[in-house]
Amino acid sequence: MMTGAELYNIIKKNKGMGGAKPRAYCGMKGGAWCCAYVCYGFNQGGAKNLWYGGKKVTYCPTAITWCRANLAEIPLYLAMPCDVIFFDWQPNGTPDHIGFVKNRISTTSIETHEGNTSGGIVAEKTRKVGARCKMWVFRPHFAPTGLKEKKLAEDGDFGYNTIYMTQVFLKKKGYYKGSLDGILGKATVKSMQAWAGVAQDGSWQKKTSVAIQKKISAKSDGEFGKNSVLAYQKYLNEQLFPNQSSPSGSATTTKPTASYSGTFPTLPPKTAKNAVDIAYAYGTKLSVYKYHGGKPKGTYKKALEKVYPDRKKWGAKSKVGASCDVFVGTTLRLSGYSKTPRGLSDQKTWLPKNLTAVSSLKNGDVLYRSNHVAIYVELKGGKYVANAHHEKHDGAYGIIEKLCKYTKAYRPKGDSYFSKGDTFTEVKNLQKFLNWYGGYKLAEDYIFGSATENAVKDFQKKEGLSVTGKFGATELAKAKAVKK
């Protein structure tokens, strides 16, 4: 079966899309299309049977009526990707808008993916609960395969494994009669309510949270945030596995008490991040990136169209951005410098006026000599440059190669973040910190792969940050303040 995260990975590509396709899918000639987009999204992911009985609906009040009859209502903090969220702006008890959940943030704030917003497009938003906005979250019957009866990682994440073990626990207690499927549907919520001793309506409201919190000896605030989930997971483990220790690799439940003594990672500057993104890796065959032998790299082509819309007037080869000055100019503009010139002679004047001259190199610095300019990048412990050569590569538009000769170096401003796919040298220091922090046993190999991304997400969960899998300034500040 499909999970919410799998559906989100499909619909997230719709960001920036207008309403033509959702309206056409639902047979609309005009009008608000936020509800139509939810139908369109489920169908796009091959999961239309999970929403409105496989039929189409374009009116929010009608959609929420179906949700209340067929789906479990979920507290804000327990929301998962592609849960359906309604908004009542008045508020008068009737929803005005609908979208998908992208990610929970806290008991009062949530990230969403919505159609017909931000001027009439698909956009991602951060929504906060307040007196002027009522929200309702409902869980379609998403469920993964391969769930097993095992001790839970006490990580504060009320995910599929916790739901599954909830069903196991309640079935053994005689409260749950359904399938062990990891679906937090009305039947599962009703059985939790029966166990907690409150009205069994399948809607997880504040009274349900308070009753469960009392059962597990957690703070009875009715929010059921991270601390409540941790207490609940610990309770389930104690009830179901009274003689077993915590599972290997599970999240710790105690706050660190000692400082990290190693070297914290230095975030990659925007110039390094962008230069690596738009250039081909060192060792790529010439036939791949050669203008006359293949297509331009998509990210660089899009960047050029944005930065230099007049590039087609430059000539047969240069029109793809063959020169080093075009490559560096594009990288700098992507990194926040709005008036970066094209042309070595102009850049010779611009660089010392707008950047800081330096005597030693750092990732992302701009290197200059009389007939060439490049971006310095530190990858996998080695020194490289991202640049382009009009003649050497017969119209190459971006390549990463070993450090070239230079006479001056200039340092730009603005750090970015580490994310999946990065091979910056500083990733190793990040991996060392994460291994100290959570004992993840990451290979300290400079490669920000899936294991490193999962470790970052776990770090974010434990420290109460938005779970993105990206390690930026907020995460670094939290890392420097953490104790263990």
322 lies in the same domain as 233:
no
Query: Per residue in 159-196, is it b (16+ CB within 10 Å) or e — as a string?
Result: bbbbbbbbbbbbeeeebbeeebbbbbbbbbbbbbbbbb
In a domain, 144, yes or no: no
74 contacts 137 by C-beta, under 8 angstroms: yes
User: SS3 for the chain, per residue?
Assistant: CCCHHHHHHHHHHHCCCCCHHHHHHHCCCCCCCHHHHHHHHHHHCCCHHHCHHHCCCCCHHHHHHHHHHHCEECCHHHCCCCCEEEEECCCCCCCCEEEEEEEECCCCEEEEEEEEECCCEEEEEEEECECCEEEEEEECCCCCCCCCCCCCCCCCCCCHHHHHHHHHHHHHHCCCCCCCCCCCCHHHHHHHHHHHCCCCCCECCHHHHHHHHHHCCCCCCCCCCHHHHHHHHHHHHHHHCCCCCCCCCCCCCCCCCCCCCCCCCCCCEHHHHHHHHHCECCCCCHHHHCHHHCCCCHHHHHHHHHHCCCHHHCCCCHHHCCCHHHHHHHHHHHCCCCCCCCCHHHHHHHHHHHCEEECCCCCCCEEEECCEEEEEEEECCEEEEEECCCCCCCCCCCEEEECCCCCEEEECCCECCECCCCCECCHHHHHHHHHHHHCCCCCCCCCCCHHHHHHHHHHHHHCCCCCCCCECHHHHHHHHHCCC
Instruction: Say which range, 296-305, 349-358, 388-397, 424-433, has the weakest mean pLDDT.
Output: 388-397
pLDDT value of residue 473 = 94
Q: How far is CA 414 from CA 264, 266, 296, 483, in A?
A: 18, 12, 27, 28
pLDDT value of residue 397 = 67
In a domain, 43, yes or no: yes
- State the residue for tokens 């430059």: 314
Instruction: Say which range, 67-71, 270-274, 451-455, has the weakest mean pLDDT.
Output: 451-455
pLDDT(373) > 90: yes
Query: Per residue in 65-87, is it b (16+ CB within 10 Å) or e — as a string?
Result: eebbebbbbbbbbbbbbbbbbbb
* Beta-bridge partners for 112: 101, 125
398 lies in the same domain as 275:
yes
In a domain, 475, yes or no: yes
Which whole number is the average pLDDT over 77-92? 94
294 lies in the same domain as 227:
no
Which whole number is the average pLDDT over 189-214? 95
287 lies in the same domain as 401:
yes
pLDDT(106) > 60: yes
In a domain, 419, yes or no: no
Can you tell me the distance from the alpha carbon of 87 to that of 396, in angstroms, rounded to the nearest whole number? 50
407 lies in the same domain as 278:
yes
When pLDDT is cut at 50, 70 and 90, the band that residue 462 belongs to is confident
In a domain, 305, yes or no: yes
91 lies in the same domain as 56:
yes
251 contacts 156 by C-beta, under 8 angstroms: yes
pLDDT value of residue 3 = 92
Q: What is the pTM of this model?
A: 0.54
Instruction: Tokens for 236, please give them.
Output: 């389930």
62 lies in the same domain as 98:
yes
Which whole number is the average pLDDT over 320-342? 82
Domain of 54, CATH number, reads 3.90.1720.10
Can you tell me the distance from the alpha carbon of 409 to that of 364, in angstroms, rounded to the nearest whole number? 10
227 lies in the same domain as 300:
no
pLDDT(379) > 50: yes
Give the residue numbers spanning the domain of 67: 4-139
pLDDT value of residue 249 = 40
96 lies in the same domain as 192:
no
When pLDDT is cut at 50, 70 and 90, the band that residue 394 belongs to is very low
Q: Which of 131, 167, 143, 51 is nearest to 99 (CA)?
A: 51
Query: For the chain, how many structural domains are there in total?
Result: 4
In a domain, 97, yes or no: yes
In a domain, 248, yes or no: no
When pLDDT is cut at 50, 70 and 90, the band that residue 113 belongs to is very high
pLDDT(290) > 60: no
* Domain final position from 240, 262, 291: 240
378 lies in the same domain as 444:
no
106 lies in the same domain as 214:
no
In a domain, 227, yes or no: yes
pLDDT value of residue 250 = 43
In whole angstroms, what separates CA 371 from the centre of its chain? 41
Instruction: Say which range, 136-145, 191-200, 328-337, 383-392, has the weakest mean pLDDT.
Output: 383-392
| Tally of CB atoms within 10 A around 120 | 12
Q: Counting every residue, how long is the chain?
A: 484
Q: Are strands 109-117 and 121-128 parallel, antiparallel or unpaired?
A: antiparallel
pLDDT tens column, 14-43: 999 999 999 999 999 999 999 999 999 999
Provide, rounded to the nearest whole percent, the portion of the chain with pLDDT above 70.
Answer: 89
pLDDT tens column, 224-277: 988 899 999 999 998 998 765 444 344 444 556 678 989 999 999 999 999 998
pLDDT averaged over the chain? 88
Nearest-10 crossing angle of helices 160-173, 186-196: 50
- The amino acid that residue 188 corresponds to is T
* Domain final position from 357, 386, 411: 411
Instruction: Say which range, 69-73, 335-339, 473-477, has the weakest mean pLDDT.
Output: 335-339
Domain of 324, CATH number, reads 3.90.1720
> Who contacts 338 (Cβ-Cβ below 8 Å, separation ≥6)?
none
Structure-model confidence comparison of residues 142 and 290, the more confident one:
142
42 lies in the same domain as 98:
yes
Structure-model confidence comparison of residues 213 and 401, the more confident one:
213
* Domain final position from 139, 170, 192: 139
Can you tell me the distance from the alpha carbon of 205 to that of 134, in angstroms, rounded to the nearest whole number? 13
Which whole number is the average pLDDT over 186-200? 96
> Who contacts 176 (Cβ-Cβ below 8 Å, separation ≥6)?
167, 170, 187, 188, 191
